[in-house]
Amino acid sequence: MFSLSEGCGCVSFRGGRRNRSLGDDSSSCRSSEIEQEVPKKLGRRLLDGQCNVRALVPFLKFWKRDDVSMTKAERTMKAAILIQQWYRRYLARMEVRRRYTWTIFQSIEYAGEQDQVKLYNFFNALLSHMRDSSGRVSSERTSRTASVLEQVFSEESDEGGGVDETAPPKLSRGPDLEFPLQRKDIDLLIEAFRKKKNRFEIYSTFQHRLHAKHVALILKEATQVLKRLPNINVATTSISSQITVCGDLHGKLDDLLVIFHKNGLPSPENPYIFNGDFVDRGKKGLEVFLLLLACMLAFPGGVYLNRGNHEDLIMNQRYGFIKEVHQKYRHNAERLLKLIEGVYRWLPLGTIINNRVFVVHGGISDTTDLDMIRSLERDKYVSLLRPPVTENCAPGSEVIDKVEWKQVFDILWSDPQTVGGCVANALRGAGTYFGPDVTTSFLQRNKLSFLIRSHECKPGGYELLHNGNVITIFSASNYYELGSNKGAYLKLCGNSLERQFVQYTAAVSRTRRLTFRQRVGLVESSAMRELHNLIMSARRPLEAYFRSMDVEQSGYIPISDWCAAMEETTHLGLPWRMLKDKLVRTDPDTRRVRYMDTFEFTANKLARKADTQTVVDTLYRNKTSLEAIFKILDKDNSGYITLEEFSEACQLLGKYMPNPMTQEQLVDICRLMDINKDGLVDLNEFLESFRLAEKNLEGDDEEDT
């Protein structure tokens, strides 16, 4: 009988008995973890006769041709080779599916960031130059004088009555922390945060939640500590002999707890660098953020925190963290968010280890100057999406601010590329792509050995580029979907800073039960749902594009035209020809696609409901001003802004705006504001688009807390 080797997909003889061998590690067909998973089941099905006749056609042809002339051993070897070839083709198909699924997720993610930046840049320029009759910025944005330190925090209950902040919280409201924080308080926090909601207790969530007073105290204490730190942290392994670097966590508390379980809690002897993007997208961003700040307070010298591009309330408004805070602390959310904003402003921008390794969230550009970054006032960058407006009217003062702002923007938003040079990051709409030559020049100029950054999800949790001089670390496992990627952290050991990568997966009990094919299928289904939602949001222009190419009105168009329409409308840069079988049906005779299938999705019942917000969800402090701007743009008082009205108004405002826009850019901005894609922008759509910009501008002139 045949038997399967444990180490590869080969088949061996064992004297009529089916046995598993350990395999020879020196074999040329040594298998990876994935390769060891599938051949056991495939081999059994093939050899036990459980496969259908179609799967055995190659075998039948093989036996018919050669079974008379070949010996038993030759038949065995040819069968083994045939199975191995089939299995390798199977793995190749799975890898192709995995790669295009990954491309879908990243393209949709970056397209969202690009739209965010475009909209914000426009509204930022508009608001910055809308003055009242006295020539000053509207006082509504500068009248917030209440000190957060004097505010009273409420109980998070249905009643929500005011509670004196000086009074101790009720015992049933989560862990009772004592300040200054110590190890026992960290243990209490971890125990409270990791408890899951009991479905039999209506108020179990409130019972395990940290009181708003304690949240505020952690944020205030952390702000005071961060204020004393330089713009670029200085870390060393002289005491600890090692240091651990973690990448994006994005609200994944399970991943943070896995790291602490595997690598130990922070301490001066076991220091950590957390490289930004602690919140957004995940469901427990607030818990992750508070736990990291608490560890920084409880273990001085044990935790270094870098700012990421998501430590920004504008990004938080779009990607979920602000909504999370409102859900968990609905009576105290606005006050806590002001404290969180204060922490953001004082987070260091990077860390240098042993004067040899630069750790930063995004990357660098060809103009990155560490001396300038060290000397700038980082607290004035409330949002990185908007350069600070100086009150100084001296010639050149605004230019200096923009140069500094670009320094910060580039190190938090940039990505590496394999080719040389430094170009604008068109995919994200912000930052740069920097090549190996830029990396080499930067390292030589600053006498550094290599660069560690995060900012990008990687299938294995880490990636080495530029001859090992750029290391990407991403610590949020299952980022896109269960089984989509591993998380990782990097340990630098000794004075030589020897690299040790540690990979892990949270929820391992669930992922272990899935085969490689099941994991790929699960991630692929999730990616296709996200893609379908995006396609449906662009249905009107996409359908018009299809019909314009269908001259005969047959319902079918050539594949190349369908691919061109998809890319021209979505701008996602996806392999549409490869995805066509997932989205549309093709006529086998004419090889033309039935384009209306693009808007049908077989799994639409499983599609997730998109997060939607109405104007009621947001109380605009500048609502009166916004309505006035809308009325100015709505020239015919129809209640809608057309593209012509929008363009005309922008041309009139052009002399007051720093960067006049082209007609194509105006069309793009108007398209982004047109949420329901009906070709018109009503007041609700205008306010909803404006909200992200306005949210940050409210706090620009506020004093530090």
Q: Which residues sit opposite 504 in a β-bridge?
A: 487
C-alpha to C-alpha distance for 622 and 227, rounded to whole angstroms: 31
Going from the C-alpha of 509 to that of each of 476, 483, 505, 512, 513, the distances in angstroms are 17, 11, 9, 5, 7
C-alpha to C-alpha distance for 580 and 681, rounded to whole angstroms: 33
Phi, psi of 673 (to 5 degrees): -75, -25
Sheet holding 242-246: strands in order across? 303-305, 272-274, 242-246, 487-493, 498-504
Going from the C-alpha of 43 to that of each of 34, 55, 366, 389, the distances in angstroms are 15, 12, 54, 68
Q: Which residues sit opposite 4 in a β-bridge?
A: 11
| Beta strand 350-353 pairing with 357-359 | antiparallel
Task: Report angle CA 126, 128, 131 to the nearest 5 degrees.
Answer: 95
C-alpha to C-alpha distance for 671 and 327, rounded to whole angstroms: 31
Q: Which residues sit opposite 450 in a β-bridge?
A: 357
Distance of CA 487 to the CA centre of its chain: 13
C-alpha to C-alpha distance for 589 and 100, rounded to whole angstroms: 27
What DSSP assignment string belongs to 535-562? HHHTHHHHHHHHHHH-TT-SSEEEHHHH
Residue 267 DSSP class:
B
C-alpha to C-alpha distance for 668 and 115, rounded to whole angstroms: 9
C-alpha to C-alpha distance for 338 and 326, rounded to whole angstroms: 13
Contacts of 270 (CB under 8 A, 6+ apart): 240, 242, 244, 263, 264, 302
HEC readout, 439-468: HHHHHHHHCCCEEEECCCCCCCCEEEECCC
DSSP helix/strand/coil, 353: strand
Going from the C-alpha of 506 to that of each of 249, 250, 324, 619, 623, the distances in angstroms are 12, 13, 21, 38, 44
Q: Which residues sit opposite 304 in a β-bridge?
A: 273
Point out the catalytic residue in the list 208, 211, 310, 331: 310
Q: Which helix (H) or strand (E) holds 164?
A: none
Distance of CA 95 to the CA centre of its chain: 22
**Is 310 designated active site?**
yes
C-alpha to C-alpha distance for 605 and 603, rounded to whole angstroms: 5
Q: Is the separation of the CB atoms in 277 and 248 below 8 Å?
A: yes
Peptide bond into 416 cis (omega under 30): no
C-alpha to C-alpha distance for 381 and 410, rounded to whole angstroms: 13
Residue 283, sorted as left (phi over 0), alpha (psi -120 to 50) or beta, turns out to be alpha
Look at the block and give the residue holding tokens 């799994």: 603
Structure tokens of 44?
Answer: 């059994």
Q: Which residues sit opposite 244 in a β-bridge?
A: 272, 491
Residues serving a catalytic function are 310
